[in-house]
């Protein structure tokens, strides 16, 4: 456990000693704040229009503004995650392999699992720190809403973002362990993430193959979270995805040690 924490602390220091983390988080927050403002303005505008139509035809408007903002905002967050995770993971192993510091790490008394988990948990922590300030937008909106939306919907949405991001981070870490070129790692990670993102587009769910592709699509399991629904099958999917690619990364790191031996 001590070795795992040492790897984790080293990775976190690497992120925050250099300007990488600050630029990364700053850019992410600027984009999320911009999109949240646009979504909130459009949804409020749409709500007023529906209210006016309801008054004209004598029908009450039951448009749920906070729920609509949450669903749209979490949808935008998932798209940003798709673009940001390849950048976040491209240097996890590729940079160390290029600089030769990976050889020193492999000769230290640290197991492959501790190396992989330490690096993965560090990238996941940075991802969580990126998301944390965005919750203030949602909390502010919820406190100003009447009636207030259920907090469980907000919690489910962020749980979904963390699971989606954690899955793509595990995939990106595995890809980074296969190459010494950070740009190649980022491009392959983005391409692989996009592939499993759109895996079921154009496929009929009536067929067996369509059902399988829909289940394998990483974004399909995210949609329930944006509606405030936490389904066991979605949790199992993301947990299995993360465990699979962490395992593959361990095997990749293990192969590095054998090649150097």
> What would the two tokens of residue 118 be?
């330490």
DSSP codes joined into one string, the chain = -HHHHHHHHHHHHHHHHSTHHHHHHHHHHHHHHHHHHHHHHHHHHHHHHHHHHHHHHT------HHHHHHHHHHHHHHHHHHHHHHHHHTTSSHHHHHHTHHHHHHHSS--HHHHHHHHHHHHHHHHHHHHTTHHHHHHHHHHHSSSPPPHHHHHHHHHHHHHHHHHHHHHHHHHHTT-S-HHHHHHHHHHHHHHHHSTTTT--TTSHHHHHHHHH-TTHHHHHHHTT---HHHHHHHHHHHHHHHHHHHHHHHHHHHHH-
Diameter of the chain measured on Cα atoms: 79
Using one digit for the tens of pLDDT, what is the confidence trace for 117-128?
999 999 999 999
**pLDDT of 200 higher than 80:** no
Q: What percent of the chain has pLDDT over 70?
A: 88
Q: What is the signed CA dihedral for 148, 152, 155, 157, rounded to 10 degrees? A: -90
Structure confidence at residue 188 (pLDDT) = 94
In the chain the first and final C-alpha atoms are separated, in Å, by: 25
- What's the predicted TM-score (pTM) here? 0.90
Least confident of 104-108, 156-160, 193-197, 225-229: 104-108
Sorted by sequence, the CB contacts under 8 Å of residue 117 that are 6+ apart come out as: 4, 7, 246
Segment 54-60 shows an average pLDDT of 59
Residue 112 has, within 13 A of its CA and on its CB side, a CA count of 15
Using alpha carbons, list the distances in angstroms from residue 250 to 16, 39, 66, 88: 25, 41, 42, 19
Band (229; pLDDT cuts 50, 70, 90):
confident
Highest mean pLDDT among 6-10, 60-64, 241-245: 241-245
Degrees, nearest 5: CA angle 79-81-83: 80
């Amino acid at each position: 456990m001590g070795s795992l924490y040492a790897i984790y602390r080293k990775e976190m220091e690497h992120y925050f000693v250099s300007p990488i983390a600050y630029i990364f988080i700053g850019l992410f927050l600027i984009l999320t704040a911009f999109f949240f403002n646009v979504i909130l303005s459009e949804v409020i505008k749409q709500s007023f229009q529906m209210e006016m139509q309801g008054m004209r035809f004598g029908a009450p408007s039951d448009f749920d503004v906070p729920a609509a903002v949450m669903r749209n905002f979490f949808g935008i967050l998932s798209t940003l995650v798709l673009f940001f995770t390849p950048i976040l993971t491209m240097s996890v192993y590729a940079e160390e392999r290029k600089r030769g510091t990976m050889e020193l790490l492999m000769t230290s008394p640290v197991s492959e699992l501790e190396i992989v988990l330490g690096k993965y948990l560090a990238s996941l922590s940075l991802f969580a720190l990126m998301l944390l300030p965005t919750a203030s937008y949602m909390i502010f909106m919820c406190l100003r809403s009447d009636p207030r939306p259920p907090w469980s919907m907000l919690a489910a949405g962020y749980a979904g973002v963390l699971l989606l991001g954690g899955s793509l981070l595990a995939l990106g870490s595995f890809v980074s362990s296969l190459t010494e070129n950070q740009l190649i790692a980022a491009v392959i990670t983005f391409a692989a993430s996009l592939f499993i993102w759109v895996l079921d587009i154009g496929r009929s769910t009536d067929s067996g193959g369509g059902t399988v592709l829909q289940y394998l699509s990483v974004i399909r399991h995210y949609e329930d979270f944006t509606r405030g629904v936490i389904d066991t099958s979605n949790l199992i999917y993301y947990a299995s995805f993360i465990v699979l690619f962490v395992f593959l990364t361990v095997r990749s790191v293990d192969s590095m040690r054998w090649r150097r031996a």
